[in-house]
């Protein structure tokens, strides 16, 4: 018996050190890309317990895999198959510690589920704008660790932009209390921003102070059929011109992606399906009134129809219709999962160059990969596409991934580089892209990242092998 297990039981309580039974919820990732085996799943209930767990694991030289809701897309939150790694689940740190309406801030623990935070903010009369389809199970700690994006980024920014302060347990098991609610603080290096987006490799985030916003007076949603990606970009420009800061969502969806929703979720109606190669979902959040928002939207859509960048459009009449439109968009990842194993890309490209990128890369993949099926959708307003690849229909998907994934990634990422983009805008590197990163990030940047990792985690026990190989 490993003596560490008894020490962990003494630190957090025997009921919260899981070693037996079905641990697949902690050991298998959301996309079913990896089934690992942990030494134990440890579920501390306080920051002090997290610190104790880290000190014990550091003492034993045992690697730690931090985990929130385990909805990550790049196999960063599940253990490898060595049976040596401890999964440190933050789920029991789920308290909202304080809300300061005057300062427009809320301080929450890392394991708070995003949807619960949104709801608590709304109940208090505020908006917490981070929004993504995994919000029913992802946690604020995981959102911070991945610097998650989602569907409101073009107005409110990524999770990084919503965070003012952090509490972090270091690799040595010390607690850094950086829970500041300040919007300005220039007292040295920005430690907060170092931990955000570090995917659990530099420290364990245990709590955060996040920004709140006033609730919009009216939020309206529209759906438009657009004849090409170029037209979608033109529509984006028109929407920015007509709605200004009111434009809170602009999502593009290719017909094949929408077809997967129609196929696997027949209860969901896909509007304007099949009319044009792409559809666009737009959201207008207004601080004046619903009639004002509707009038703005109508003027925008009239201009778009006149221009020809939209060929048809509908505006939701009520909240239920708006929810139904969002449901189509949010169900694409699930529909893709139901279609089978797939290759995902969360790339970003300067918005102006996206039409040319798609035209060239679509043709390249169709030429190079027999039977390839492109699932293209995403946050066009942020220049961020989920340029995904589904295995050929009726083919052997696991074999396709084994034989073609590296090649598909190289083809897509080389195109991303050619168009001055990033190989990951949202999901991060995890283990899935760790071997690719050195080809697309400069040696200087990687050297600096390694220096930071070695300085903060000299034993290399925090999520080793994810993001960077040392």
The residues that touch ligand 2HG, with contacts defined as CB under 6 A, are 133, 333, 336, 344, 378, 386, 388, 426
Give the list of residues 6+ apart from residue 26 with CB closer than 8 angstroms, or none. Answer: 18, 38, 41, 67, 70, 78, 87, 89
Q: Rule CB under 6 A: say whether 142 interacts with ligand FAD.
A: yes
**423 binds, options Zn ion, ligand FAD, ligand 2HG, none, Cβ within 5 to 8 A by partner type:** none
DSSP state of 217: S
Task: Please return the burial class of 313, using the count of CB atoms within 10 Å of its CB with bins 0-12, 13-18 and 19+.
Answer: buried
CB 54 to ligand FAD: min, Å:
11
CB 426 to Zn ion: min, Å:
5
**Binding-site string for ligand FAD from residue 290 to residue 309, where x marks contact by CB under 6 A and - marks none:** --------------------
Q: Rule CB under 6 A: say whether 456 interacts with ligand FAD.
A: no
**463 binds, options ligand 2HG, Zn ion, ligand FAD, none, Cβ within 5 to 8 A by partner type:** ligand FAD
Q: Which helix (H) or strand (E) holds 7?
A: helix 3-12
Of 40, 48, 83, 89, residue with least CA distance to 69 = 89
Beta strands in 195-269 (DSSP E): 204-211, 213-214, 218-226, 247-254
Footprint on residues 99-118 left by ligand FAD (CB under 6 A): 110
Structural contact between residues 78 and 27, judged by C-beta atoms closer than 8 angstroms: yes
Q: Which two tokens stand for residue 25?
A: 């919820």
**387 binds, options ligand 2HG, Zn ion, ligand FAD, none, Cβ within 5 to 8 A by partner type:** none
Q: Determine the residue with CB nearest ligand FAD.
A: 142
Q: Which two tokens stand for residue 258?
A: 């929408």
- As separate numbers, helices (DSSP H) first and strands (DSSP E) second, the chain gives 16, 19
Distance CA 470, CA 465 (A): 8
**344 binds, options Zn ion, ligand 2HG, ligand FAD, none, Cβ within 5 to 8 A by partner type:** ligand 2HG
Distance CA 345, CA 78 (A): 20
Footprint on residues 47-76 left by ligand FAD (CB under 6 A): 65-73, 76
Nearer to ligand 2HG, 97 or 344 (CB): 344
Binding site for Zn ion (CB under 5 A): 426
CB 173 to ligand FAD: min, Å:
14
CB 220 to ligand 2HG: min, Å:
21
CB 454 to ligand 2HG: min, Å:
31
List, in sequence order, every residue forming a beta bridge with 211; answer none if it has no partner.
105
Nearer to ligand 2HG, 242 or 386 (CB): 386
The dihedral formed by the CA atoms of 253, 257, 262 and 267, expressed in degrees to the nearest 10:
-70
Which of 47, 77, 219, 348 forms a contact with ligand FAD (CB under 6 A)? 77
**Binding-site string for ligand FAD from residue 170 to residue 209, where x marks contact by CB under 6 A and - marks none:** -----------------------------xx---xx----
Q: Rule CB under 6 A: say whether 383 interacts with ligand FAD.
A: no
Nearer to ligand FAD, 138 or 309 (CB): 138
**72 binds, options Zn ion, ligand FAD, ligand 2HG, none, Cβ within 5 to 8 A by partner type:** ligand FAD
CB 301 to ligand FAD: min, Å:
25
Of 138, 141, 24, 128, residue with least CA distance to 73 = 138
Q: Helix-strand-coil percent breakdown of the chain, rounded to 5?
A: 40, 20, 40
The dihedral formed by the CA atoms of 90, 461, 409 and 381, expressed in degrees to the nearest 10:
40
Tell me which residues touch ligand FAD (CB under 6 A).
30, 65-73, 76-77, 90, 110, 132-134, 138-139, 141-143, 145-146, 148-150, 199-200, 204-205, 333, 426-427, 430, 463, 466
């Amino acid at each position: 018996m490993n003596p560490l297990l008894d020490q962990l039981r003494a630190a957090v309580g025997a009921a919260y050190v899981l070693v037996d039974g079905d641990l697949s919820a902690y050991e298998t990732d959301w996309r079913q890309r990896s089934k690992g085996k942990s030494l134990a799943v440890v579920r501390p209930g306080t920051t002090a317990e997290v610190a104790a767990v880290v000190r014990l694991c550091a003492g034993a030289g045992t690697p730690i895999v931090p985990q929130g809701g385990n909805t990550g897309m790049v196999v960063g939150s599940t253990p490898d198959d060595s049976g040596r790694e401890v999964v440190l689940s933050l789920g029991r740190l789920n308290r909202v510690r304080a809300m300061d309406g005057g300062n427009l801030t809320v301080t929450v623990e890392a394991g708070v589920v995003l949807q619960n935070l949104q709801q608590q903010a709304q109940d208090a009369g505020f908006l917490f704008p981070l929004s993504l389809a995994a919000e029913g199970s992802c946690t604020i700690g995981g959102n911070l660790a991945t610097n998650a994006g989602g569907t409101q980024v073009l107005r409110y920014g990524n999770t990084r932009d919503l965070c003012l302060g952090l509490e972090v347990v270091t690799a040595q098991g010390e607690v850094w209390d950086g829970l500041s609610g300040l919007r300005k603080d220039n007292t040295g290096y920005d430690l907060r921003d170092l931990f955000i987006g570090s995917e659990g490799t530099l420290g364990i985030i245990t709590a955060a102070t996040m920004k709140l916003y006033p609730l919009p007076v009216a939020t309206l949603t529209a759906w438009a059929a657009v004849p090409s990606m170029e037209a979608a970009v033109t529509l984006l420009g028109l929407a920015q011109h007509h709605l200004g800061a009111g434009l809170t969502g602009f999502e593009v969806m290719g017909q094949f992606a929408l077809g997967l929703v129609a196929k696997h979720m027949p209860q969901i109606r896909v509007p304007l399906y099949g009319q044009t190669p792409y559809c666009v979902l737009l959201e207008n959040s207004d601080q004046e009134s619903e009639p004002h928002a509707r009038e703005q939207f109508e003027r925008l859509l009239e201009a778009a129809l006149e221009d020809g960048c939209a060929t048809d459009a509908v505006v939701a009449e009520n909240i239920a219709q708006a929810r139904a439109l969002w449901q189509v968009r949010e169900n694409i990842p699930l529909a893709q999962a139901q279609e089978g194993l797939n290759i995902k890309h969360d790339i970003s490209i300067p918005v102006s160059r996206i039409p040319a990128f798609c035209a060239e890369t679509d043709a390249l993949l169709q030429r190079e990969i027999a039977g390839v099926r492109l699932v293209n959708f995403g946050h066009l307003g942020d220049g961020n596409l989920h340029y995904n690849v589904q295995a050929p229909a009726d083919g052997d998907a696991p074999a396709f991934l084994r034989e073609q994934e590296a090649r598909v990634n190289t083809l897509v990422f080389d195109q991303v580089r050619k168009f001055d983009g990033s190989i990951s805008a949202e999901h991060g590197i995890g283990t899935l892209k760790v071997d690719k990163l050195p080809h697309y990030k400069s040696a200087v940047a990687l050297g600096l990242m390694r220096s930071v990792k070695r300085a903060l985690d000299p034993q290399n026990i925090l999520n080793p092998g994810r993001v960077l190989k040392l």
